[in-house]
Structure 1
């Protein structure tokens, strides 16, 4: 498989009120299973949309090598149709119009090379053991949380994308369906970026990337490696801080002792001057 990458080149993005969310952000995501972590409000979901081309940066550029499929945070109950939940609602609609006689170039451009999209979706649903009568046109609200996630993932598989970006994919899933999600993602052959707080999911990742106010930081290895490394960093930072505080206390103590010695010398000088007089 061709190696694909997602690269941020000095990207800046400002919120609607003008506050900067990212400034001069540069980073390259490797085509391996990557977990993206960070505090709430750090901008992980915005970053996912920037990488997928759903948002444009205020400054800088996002370079995409290959097709990117973004699966946003799943709501429950899901809205729209099953096809829309799979992320291919527009393609299915365009395909239906072409079959009905449309010669609009926009419809053909939308379908692209995915003329067998319905068949690929059905194959995915069968492999996932979803109901045999599942139809792309039916309301997605009829699906359970686990079924909704499976349908959403099936669109990524059927799209033939080179990159899959997931935003909190295990939300609304019970333990059984979370495990099923982990197994499915292990079969994904392209680049994978998963935004998640789910440690079970993050344990499946080849590396962890953290987003904070200073930018993006890569940590080799899955969640436990990241957690151990961060704990060691915090311990080292605490030791460094304590060392700095100890030095500061020593400097204050030295300055105080020096001042006391100076005052003693001055007092002794004054006393000797009085005695001389």
Structure 2
């Protein structure tokens, strides 16, 4: 732990980030001279685009990394909940929670082995076992034991284990990195309730906008540093919209100024040419000596050049400022989705499930057989707890599985299924090759590259391997490919599409889906996202073990 404890004179402040800089091992400068503070009892979010350094900053605060310059000072040692939990696979639950040694000492003392070593290890923490039990009950960790291996738990259970650690360690300062990523709706509700009720200081990195609306401060991290917005996410979004609108107005005004400057530059040049030509004729008619004519011509040319340079400088300055302003525009404003309208009429039956169920090892997936229809134009959210069979439902619907009981009627339609990993993309291809692979409409090479550029893939990334793309980049490439394809899918199936995306990329995805006019089936625990894409119907699945 490299955080320094604050003195009592700054008791109202929980955390001070003082002029820190951090450089990755690959020499990439992530941020420099970063400064901000967090008051005690604050419930704050750290937001920003992918690559801004949010997770790294949390690790610096947690003491897992050391800043290259500056200091991090806090009143309390933070309790850290990481985003990636795979590194704990070989540990027991107790080891992952860093209570294994204390619990061992506790049990040894109860067994009569009250050695000095065990007493020192326990440190009078006689309520530890009871707190573990209470915390597991609070976070609904039924059937999970402290001696279980983390590798045997689901992603949602692992997340709940670390959330339970808040109460086990009686943490007063908690930092969390995407805590709701693997939680089902029930788990998210428990997390939201905790955030609303706690008096602890919170600093959270999250793209879950329902969660972000429970917080009171947004810290936006970018290459320019940290900018503070008081209020929850909705207030932050309003402020960003206002900034974006002001920027748009400024760009329009500068574009108008640039047009006027160019017109004036052209008019001045034309007028000067006419004056020069008229002056030359007068001089020739008046019989002015050649040497004098050369002198007059040079003076006129120098005067003309100076005037031209003045207007050229003005035009260039406006152009440079305009280019700088355009660079500040949000990436989503630069995109053109242009999804084709599907040919299906509204209300046509696409699927009909009659008495459908499936089995794994003779165990039925759902408590009741499924009887339902899906018609064209619907926007459906597929809901259910973790393990309720949502992925099985999709695979049955798309014909990848055969139901154990019942039947499924399917209309022949064009379907695109986008899972959490965007595996409709081919990792063996380059970005350009992947786009070309969807080119059903015989677009020319330059047209494909224009569309790639609209989705933020510039010429430096056209030869980049698809396998090397981040989650947000894979999502943008998938959307780009759908706009390149000449055939709009009649059915678009999305499985947890916002997982592992930052807010910027979620907004891009949301804007694309809002423009899509076909039938939509979405698996998501993100209530904010579902509301934005105008879901019209919910299908709730209940697993047989629920």
**Shorter-chain TM-score tier:** 0.7 to 0.9
Distance 1:128 1:9 in 2: 36
Q: CA deviation at 1:8?
A: 0.8
Contact 1:4 1:191 in 2 (8 A): no
Match of 1:23 among 11, 23, 32: 32
- Distance change >3 Å, CA 237–CA 90, structure 1 → 2: farther
The Cα shift of 1:259 comes to 2.0
Return the alpha-carbon distance in structure 1 between the equivalents of residues 152 and 242 of structure 2. Answer: 47
* RCO comparison, higher one (Cα < 8 Å, 6+): 1
TM-score, normalised to structure 1, is 0.87
RMSD of the alignment, in Å?
2.6
Supply the distance in 1 between the matched residues of 2:146 and 2:156 (Cα, whole angstroms).
17
The answer to whether the aligner puts 1:139 opposite 2:139 as a matched pair is no
* Number of the residue aligned with 1:11: 20
Q: What is the distance in 1 between the residues matched to 2:107 and 2:203? A: 32
Q: What's the offset of the Cα at 1:74?
A: 4.6
Alpha-carbon shift at residue 180 of structure 1 (Å): 2.0
Residue number among 245, 252, 261 corresponding to 1:235 in the alignment: 245
What secondary structure sits across from 2:255 in the alignment? helix
Distance 1:39 1:206, change over 3 A: same
Once structures 1 and 2 are overlaid, which stretch shifts more, 84-93 or 5-14? 84-93
Q: TM-score, normalised on structure 2?
A: 0.46
What's the CA shift for 1:64?
0.7
- Offset of residue 102 of structure 1: 5.4
In the alignment, the residues of structure 2 paired with residue 119 and residue 89 of structure 1 have an alpha-carbon distance, to the nearest angstrom, of 14
1:259 to 1:122, Cα distance in 2 relative to 1, 3 A: same
2:139–2:163: 8 Å Cα contact kept in structure 1?
Answer: no
Q: Distance in 2 between matches of 1:97 and 1:247?
A: 80
Shift of 1:266: 1.0
1:213 aligns with 2:257: no
Aligned-partner SS, 1:5? strand
Q: Where does residue 70 of structure 1 map in the other structure?
A: 80
1:247 positional shift: 2.1
Contiguous gaps of at least 5 residues in structure 1: none
Larger Rg: 2
Moved more, 224-233 or 86-95: 86-95
1:179 paired residue number? 189
Is 1:165 matched with 2:175? yes
Label 1:228 to 1:112 Cα distance change in 2 as closer, same or farther (>3 A): farther
Displacement of 1:196 in angstroms is 0.7
Q: 1:172/1:125 Cα in 2 relative to 1: closer, same or farther (>3 Å)?
A: same
- Cα distance in structure 1, aligned partners of 2:207 and 2:188: 13
State whether structure 2 residue 79 is matched by structure 1 residue 61: no
Kindly tell me: are residues 50 and 76 of structure 1, through their superposed partners in 2, closer, same or farther at Cα, counting changes over 3 Å?
closer
CA–CA separation in structure 2 for the residues paired with 1:102 and 1:56: 37
Contact 1:78–1:148 (Cα < 8 Å) also in 2? no
Aligned length: 273
SS at match of 2:268: helix
Q: Which residue among 125, 128, 139 is the counterpart of 1:117?
A: 128
Q: How far apart are the structure 2 equivalents of 1:102 and 1:95? A: 11
1:216-240 per-residue CA deviation (whole Å, 9 max, x = no partner) reads: 1111111111111112111212222
1:24 counterpart SS class? strand
Say which SS state the counterpart of residue 18 (structure 2) adopts.
strand
Q: Does 1:190 align with 2:184?
A: no
**Pair 1:28–1:180, CA change in 2 (3 A):** same
Deviations 1:66-107 (A, max 9, x none): 2310110153696221223435445445656777555459x9
Contact 1:51 1:62 in 2 (8 A): yes
Q: Secondary structure at the match of 1:218?
A: strand
Q: Residue 93 and residue 63 in structure 1: after superposition, are their counterparts in 2 closer, same or farther (change >3 A)?
A: farther
Instruction: Give the structure 2 partner of residue 33 of structure 1.
Output: 43
Moved more, 86-95 or 136-145: 86-95
In structure 1, C-alpha distance between the alignment counterparts of 2:18 and 2:124, rounded to whole Å: 30
Q: Quick check: 1:128 aligned with 2:139?
A: yes
Alpha-carbon separation, structure 2, partners of 1:253 and 1:93 = 83
